[in-house]
């Protein structure tokens, strides 16, 4: 199941997606976002530059990666991570953790 479908089933009404850092940066910069899910690897690039933008804007986010917490580096070690592949309930729990950290 696609992440977009999982989010829809969890009640999220508007979902944007990007397959490359160059495509995602304008979304992270310009859109009014409730939160974001970042795949650590977007094509041949890492998504940490997008995380930097989201963090500066105060937008909560989590990372998705097949490497789990081992895939994190720098300032993002210890960030909320959901390990791929994941089920809808695992995604829901990760989203809840992100919002609990924000409160």
Give how far Cα 83 sits from Cα of 13, 20, 22, 78, Å.
24, 20, 24, 13
How many separate domains does the chain show?
A: 1
Q: Report pLDDT digits (tens) over 45-88.
A: 999 999 999 999 999 999 999 988 888 989 999 999 999 999 99
pLDDT at 102 over 70: no
**Which residue segment(s) compose the domain that 72 sits in?**
3-102
CA angle 23-58-56, nearest 5°?
65
Q: Report pLDDT digits (tens) over 34-44.
A: 999 999 999 89
Q: Report pLDDT digits (tens) over 7-44.
A: 999 999 899 999 999 999 999 999 999 999 999 999 89
Q: Please give the Cα distance from 40 to 51 (Å, whole number).
A: 10
CATH code for position 51: 3.40.50.2300
């Amino acid at each position: 199941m696609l992440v977009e479908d999982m989010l829809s089933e969890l009640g999220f009404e508007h979902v944007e997606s990007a397959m490359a850092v160059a495509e995602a940066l304008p979304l992270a910069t310009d859109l009014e976002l409730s939160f974001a899910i970042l795949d650590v690897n977007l094509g041949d690039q890492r998504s940490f530059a997008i995380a930097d933008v989201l963090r500066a804007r105060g937008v909560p986010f989590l990372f998705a990666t097949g490497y789990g917490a081992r895939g994190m580096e720098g300032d993002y070690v210890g960030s909320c991570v959901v390990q791929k592949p994941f089920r809808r309930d695992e995604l829901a729990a990760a989203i809840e953790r992100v919002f609990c950290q924000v409160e």
